[in-house]
Amino acid sequence: MSKYDIIVLGSGPGGYVTAIRASQLGFKTAIVEKESLGGVCLNWGCIPTKALLKSAQVFEYLKHAEDYGLKVKDAEHDFDAVVKRSRGVADGMSKGVQFLLKKNKIDVINGFGKLKPGKKIDVDGTEYSADNIIIATGARSRELPSLPQDGKKVIGYREAMTLDKQPKKMIVVGSGAIGVEFAYFYNSMGTDVTIVEYLPNVVPVEDLDVSKQLEKSFKKTGINIMTSAEVTKVDTSGKGVKATVKTNKGEEVLEADVILSAVGIKTNIENIGLEDVGIVVDRDKVIVNDFYQTNIPGYYAIGDITPGPALAHVASAEGILCVEKLAGQHVEPLDYGNIPGCTYCSPEIASVGLTEKQAKDKGLDIKVGKFPFSASGKASAGGNKDGFVKVIFDAKYGEWLGCHMIGAGVTDMIAEAVLGRKLETTGHEVLKAIHPHPTMSEAVMEAVAAAYDEVIHL
């Protein structure tokens, strides 16, 4: 039986990053993967979707070339080629992970891993043991009873990335990150898209002002939006699909070629031996302490299967923290109040910390500043004036409580707020930090200036 210091089950951005950091710290490490290295993120999530969205963005530019004083005749898209490019990007990234694991002398064990008592893993009949086992099996598309997926007319995100042909009409159920990203992509390609959202606002976890702006921007591009709406049943017996949608006004039947179910995720915790080992699970999540140890010594869990946010960068951070603690390093628990969230539709969305409503619900005395990109020179020059930066500060101490952005490139800007909050910066310190001109990032400084009644360009 092969013996390791650490075996990681799952090779997504949680698993492979954990394995590499473990190897760097001197642990003899192996990783178990049943499918492709890189997991959902690299193969079916974060990376290939961004490739699709980039194609959509380039096509949008071509369609609006005249806005920039350019002439492009008969710009067309090749749906198959767009999908093929996306798959090529994903394959390249997966090969990159393979190289990194080999470089760090990590053994890759291909197959379905099942946990066993005594700190062992059975991989398709072969047993491996370790001093520590880290579970990072991730999650998949969640299915609703009223919306069973058949992979053809009712699909999840995997099928949405590799459809044989572009649908003329699509219904997207759910307006979280996955839903609005695919809604933007297919609408840009020319599909008639309708979003059905159960809650009163799209992207419901975001600040209300952000939700309203996205709805406004989406409607401007022709996306139909139904909020406070629920799909109660689907009929796939005909050529396309019919969805019965219940709203405040009654029931309505929508017809489409395909329905994309984007109603959240389901953790991959079935049949991996959790019950055999005695690991405690609550509401579909593995229960862990601040350093990701389960209730059974020697077994750890990170990423989507634990109670934290189901985000790739969170899984990576948790895995690094877990193995650094195992190595005896002094580490502090992750601050889950300072996790950035990003959505890559157009306009992009990025946020960290409290929304305005959450701050008010806590009874905090706050200062709120908002700067629209319509007043930004860089945004005007780039033709991307939709959106804004919104900041929230504690009125008494100047603590940066939250930052919410919607607009072009904001997913690359949010790190300023994350770092500022980590370093416990104040509003005045942000205001006095010189931001380069002309840039989109100036809007952060201007929003802070607005909060303190010092805004210049508004």
Q: What does the pLDDT read at residue 89?
A: 94
Cβ atoms 455, 376 nearer than 8 A:
no
Q: What does the pLDDT read at residue 1?
A: 66
The rounded radius of gyration (Å) of the Cα atoms in the chain is 23
Alpha-helix residue ranges (DSSP H) falling in 25-68: 39-44, 46-63
CA pair distance 362, 319, nearest whole angstrom: 31
Q: What does the pLDDT read at residue 74?
A: 87
Q: What does the pLDDT read at residue 65?
A: 93
Q: What does the pLDDT read at residue 150?
A: 92
Which portions of the chain are predicted below pLDDT 50? none
Cα dihedral 450/452/457/458 (nearest 10):
40
Q: What does the pLDDT read at residue 44?
A: 85
Q: What does the pLDDT read at residue 40?
A: 86
CA pair distance 265, 452, nearest whole angstrom: 40
CA pair distance 426, 295, nearest whole angstrom: 40
Give the containing element (helix H, strand E) for 416. Answer: helix 415-422
Q: What does the pLDDT read at residue 41?
A: 86
- For 211-263, the pLDDT digits (tens) are 999 999 999 999 999 999 999 999 999 899 999 999 999 999 999 999 999 99
pTM, entire model: 0.94
Q: What does the pLDDT read at residue 453?
A: 95
- For 262-288, the pLDDT digits (tens) are 998 999 999 999 999 999 999 999 999
DSSP string, 62-114: HHTGGGGT----S----HHHHHHHHHHHHHHHHHHHHHHHHHTTPEEEES-EE
Please report the domains of the chain, with CATH numbers, ordered by start residue.
2-141+266-336 (3.50.50.60), 154-263 (3.50.50.60), 347-451 (3.30.390.30)
Rounded mean pLDDT of the chain? 95
**8-state DSSP, 144:** B
Which residue numbers are catalytic?
Answer: 437
Q: What does the pLDDT read at residue 324?
A: 98
